[in-house]
A = this chain, B = another copy of it.
Amino acid sequence: MCCEATMIQALRERGMRLTPQREMVLHVLHEIPNDATAEEIHARVSRLSPAVDLSTVYRTLDLFTELNLVSSFKQADGDQRFELLTIHAPHFHLLCQQCGELSSVSISELQPLASQLFQTHRFELKMEHLIIPGICAKCSSRTA
């Protein structure tokens, strides 16, 4: 799989090592539909190898985030969540500040804003890291 090759290269470039733990975390991230907490990822890794520590999972996820393999963000409930950047079509997220629901939106909807910000501010919007806060349909109808 291309992710693994990417990871191996990125690790080599930095003099870092390919360990079974890192392979397992990467593998497990492919099985997860959307995003997951470190606990969830750890639980899945544990099925493959029970000795792997939660702290290792955290360290690995942080590493992957730096390597740009994973995006990491916090939901409204405060849980930090992680997902593979490559697995899905390019998208950004809407985060409901009330219920914490996270939904994905194709980056095509962002294109106009991206051009706008580049034209007026020379700012290159990183669309896949964008999390837009607001109130989702369910919550706003509940309140209204």
Contact surface of A with B, Cβ cutoff 8 Å? 71, 73-78, 80, 94-97, 103, 105, 109-110, 112-113, 116-117, 120-126, 129-137, 140-141
- Going nearest first, the 7 A-B pairs with the smallest beta carbon separation are A122-B137, A74-B78, A73-B97, A125-B134, A124-B135, A129-B133, A126-B134
The 8 Å CB contact of A126, one of B109, B117, B135, B141, is B135
The 8 Å CB contact of A117, one of B74, B78, B134, is B134
- Chain B: CB-nearest residue to A95: B76
- Chain B: CB-nearest residue to A114: B134
Asked whether A94 lies within 8 Å of B117 as measured between CB atoms, the reply is yes
Q: How far is the CA of A74 from the CA of B122 in the complex (A)?
A: 22
- Chain B: CB-nearest residue to A100: B74
Asked whether A132 lies within 8 Å of B130 as measured between CB atoms, the reply is yes
Asked whether A121 lies within 8 Å of B103 as measured between CB atoms, the reply is yes
Inter-chain contacts of A132 with B (CB < 8 A): 117, 123, 125, 130
9 A-B contacts (beta carbon < 8 Å):
A71-B97, A73-B133, A78-B80, A112-B116, A113-B113, A117-B132, A122-B141, A125-B133, A126-B133
Q: How far is the CA of A97 from the CA of B120 in the complex (A)?
A: 19
